[in-house]
Structure 1
């Protein structure tokens, strides 16, 4: 008999205190006009993106526009964000906006970067909510809740 095991995928929300997660979710909902459930998904994916970026040594990763809302709200909580960066990355994870005149910031190049980011987050063991990543990707994940890059230094 062969036993097939499925890896347990992590959620980004596991990386911070539930109270901080709720605070960030509430901020995303209010500041960006998202309903609370979507705001929670956004924060979850932002945390997964950041943790993946922290450990990734390849080409730069980029959040989707919706996931970036979660990163923006987290970075405004400077003490919590800095502590998260120290704990998860051992360094500060800088937010580096994309130059709007950069040809890699739009079209197929941007799509390819998002696809690469989704693949990298998934390979890092995080559940990917494909509704928040406009890549055309379909990643099976039964545990999911339904323009910037991370700097490598």
Structure 2
């Protein structure tokens, strides 16, 4: 179980991070591996685009971990970077723990159920956390824009947040011996 990082109240503005470059929030080898996962899932994508997507996925994760009560969701393109990061389970869990709470993923895809207010709120929260937002990657799910990705899901359950407290796992009952 992760323990949220203690931060002074109201400490959410620019300057929160000594270096707001998301690339520096993961070990170099891990960052490169996440970029590689984005590339593997999207044949033909150039490395710079994969880096941009990875960076936004990291920014989204950190911001969501810091704001567990705030309904947030990534764009379909940023979701690709989030997926790649989640597949690196140990660094993903450590990143979440470093900045707050674990960010759970609730996949589902219905482009007609897109809520621009949730995405706009997410973009504002990322900026308020001190990150520069790559606005070209934050588009509606039906607008591929500059980037087409393999991810085919959107988020999240009815409260529009990828963060849900999960019950503590309990051991299964022992089989009965008759």
Between Structure 1 and Structure 2, the one with more helix by share is 1
The TM-score bracket by the shorter chain reads: 0.7 to 0.9
Any conservation in 1 of the 2:59–2:131 contact (CA below 8 Å)?
A: yes
Cα distance in 1 for partners of 2:164, 2:63 equals 11
Structure 1 stretches of 4+ moved >3 Å:
98-101
2:129 is aligned with 1:119: no
**Cα displacement string for residues 26-82 of structure 1 (whole angstroms, at most 9, x for unaligned residues):** 110121232110000001011111111011144311001111011111111222222
TM-score normalized by structure 2? 0.65
Please name the residue that 2:35 is paired with: 25
Task: Give the deviation of 1:99 after TM superposition.
Answer: 6.3
Please name the residue that 1:47 is paired with: 58
Q: What do you get for the CA RMSD once the two structures are aligned?
A: 2.2
Cα distance in 1 for partners of 2:81, 2:118 equals 19
Cα distance in 2 for partners of 1:114, 1:83 equals 25
What 5-or-longer segments of structure 1 have no aligned partner? 1-6, 136-146
Please name the residue that 2:79 is paired with: 68
Q: 1:14 aligns with which of 14, 17, 24?
A: 24
Q: 1:151 aligns with which of 163, 168, 176?
A: 163
Any conservation in 2 of the 1:32–1:69 contact (CA below 8 Å)?
A: no
What 5-or-longer segments of structure 2 have no aligned partner? 1-13, 141-153, 156-160, 166-178
Cα distance in 2 for partners of 1:100, 1:130 equals 22
Any conservation in 2 of the 1:95–1:151 contact (CA below 8 Å)?
A: yes
